[in-house]
Structure 1
Amino acid sequence: MPTAAIRLALRLSLSDKALVTHAANVQGVPVSVFMRNAVLREAERVIAAPQVVPNGSTRR
């Protein structure tokens, strides 16, 4: 069974889009693939990092 996909949209300045496009070209991948990889990598980093809670302790 194929996996359903959803579409996300975001707004970028022209300079940000140029930067992302250049980076995707350097890696030889489409912008959408570059963006997906970057977003998933960052999401995993955030989830794995210790989180500071209001009382000053940390949790994982």
Structure 2
Amino acid sequence: MVVFKEILQFMRRLPIQKALTNQHKVFKSHVGLSYDEVNDVINSSVHIDNEDKEIIIT
């Protein structure tokens, strides 16, 4: 258990800890998703207020 506690303390000091443990809602409004290998981004089309909008995740 001591080793596990040390790992948790280490993870709390890293910004990645929030990314690994934070929960995000996924909405049904997502129309499509694709990965662009050339630019290393995720393209997503989202339906908001009766309009399709593109979101780029880097």
**TM-score (normalised: structure 2):** 0.26
Higher strand share: 2
Q: Which has the larger radius of gyration?
A: 2
Higher helix share: 1
**TM-score (normalised: structure 1):** 0.26
The structure whose RCO (Cα within 8 Å, separation 6+) is larger is 2
